[in-house]
Amino acid sequence: MTARYRLLLADQALYAVSNLAAVALAGRVVDPDRFGRFMLAFLSVSVAVNGVRAFWSEPEMAGRRVSHGPSRQAAVVAAVASSMVAGAGIAGRVPWGAVVVAAAAAAVLQDRLRYLALLTQAAAGALRSDALWAAVMVAAGVMLTGPGARGGLTTDATTVLGLWTLGAAVAAVANLPSAAGRAARRPKAPPAAEVPPHPLDAGAGRGLFLADFAFQSGATQAAGLLLGLVMASGPYGELRAAITLLGPIGVANTALTTQLLVGRPAGARLVGGIGAAALAVVAALAAVPNWLGTATLGSAWPGRVVLGLIGATVAAQTVSTWGLTRLKVAARHRALLVLRGGGAAALAGATVATAAVSERAVPVAVAYLAVNGVLALAAAGLAHRSIPADTADAVAVAVAGQALAGTR
């Protein structure tokens, strides 16, 4: 595991802590039906974040190009506006929908600034800002539900989302470089003669990344949103809670994607280690007594069967992440989009149909696992056959070599 990957993993883990803290706090203070609605809103925010990431940040990272946005002034205005709406929501002065929009704006801003920090070799700044966000949420949880919490303190889903939004806005402001610092850290493009043409250059990368998002994250999350309309709030909340509790492995997969995008190879040992970690997390969670899990997380504590199925699904996603990202970096458009499109259609059809018939979390989790297992096998097999490891890694490293020289 490279030093860069360890730094990416630590940063993504801190981001997951803020999400887990919000979910745990919501589980403690709202009933199962309202918790399901909270998770639906949380997923909507995630769709916005991933969409902007696919349109803006990931194509730049793959092509080692960084734009000038957002400006410092625009970022400060967005952070302040989001904070004001979040504060008004906590005070009960604005509707739930306004707080959801503010949460999406703050989270998108912090995610964009995180990628800018990675692109400009200032990952330590992203690490500090995400640590601050996590600390805000942990402190909020202790203050509102800990042993010293004041009795009678009213806390609802709007309060939890508002606090999460405030944490994101504070982290974004902390992540803003000075004007001089941004200019100093801006990566210099190597001479054209030293870098071979990259298959993601000339605007093709952005279109490919957006199409990939539409078929993967966008379609998956759209299916999740549709499930929220088909399933009862209680079972839906249980399913989404299990997915969130496995978030630490999900962010390991995100860090794996980032490492591949910036040109560092990822071998079987790393991929297998992440998948094994998913199963280890499931085993650890399964060992927790139900009474303790419920006492700790309330409505956010799912059943053991759902946890096991989602854990196996995340392990399968580690394999598919590796294969599909290699296809993306090598610009294998047709293979990538056929796999993504087929997987998205199968996932949406299988989960929604299962939910409509059963209305329970366990059968839907089985459908998740079945589709992701088939996708993992297909993606790994196609990437292995069509992209020799040394060729794919050489293409990416040739593009990223100079920019990464100071981060090894």
Mean pLDDT, range 395-400, rounded to an integer: 33
Query: Residues with Cβ < 8 Å from 258, sequence gap 6 or more?
Result: 8, 61, 118
Domain containing residue 12 = 1-30+66-188
Q: Of 157, 188, 219, which residue is a domain's last? A: 188
- Tell me, what's the pLDDT at 255? 66
| Per-residue pLDDT tens digits for 127-170 | 899 999 999 999 988 888 766 555 444 568 899 999 999 999 99
d(CA 305, CA 287): 12
| Per-residue pLDDT tens digits for 348-381 | 899 999 999 998 999 999 999 999 999 999 998 9
CB-CB contact of 41 with 161 (8 Å): yes
Q: Of 188, 216, 243, which residue is a domain's last? A: 188
- Tell me, what's the pLDDT at 66? 66
- Tell me, what's the pLDDT at 391? 42
Asked if 371 and 331 sit in the same domain, the reply is yes
d(CA 130, CA 12): 8
- Tell me, what's the pLDDT at 377? 94
- Tell me, what's the pLDDT at 346? 92
Could you tell me if residue 44 is inside a domain? no
Q: Which residue has the higher pLDDT, 190 or 257?
A: 257
Could you tell me if residue 54 is inside a domain? no
| Per-residue pLDDT tens digits for 85-97 | 999 999 999 999 9
Asked if 159 and 238 sit in the same domain, the reply is no
| Per-residue pLDDT tens digits for 20-51 | 889 888 888 888 878 888 888 888 898 889 88
Could you tell me if residue 60 is inside a domain? no
On the question of pLDDT at 197 being above 50, the answer is: no
Could you tell me if residue 217 is inside a domain? yes
Q: Of 188, 215, 243, which residue is a domain's last? A: 188
d(CA 51, CA 169): 19
CB-CB contact of 99 with 158 (8 Å): yes
Could you tell me if residue 8 is inside a domain? yes
- Number of structural domains the chain divides into: 2
What SS3 string covers 78-137? Answer: HHHHHHHHHHHHHCCCCCHHHHHHHHHHHHHHHHHHHHHHHHCCCHHHHHHHHHHHHHHH
The rounded mean pLDDT for the chain is 78
- Tell me, what's the pLDDT at 345? 87
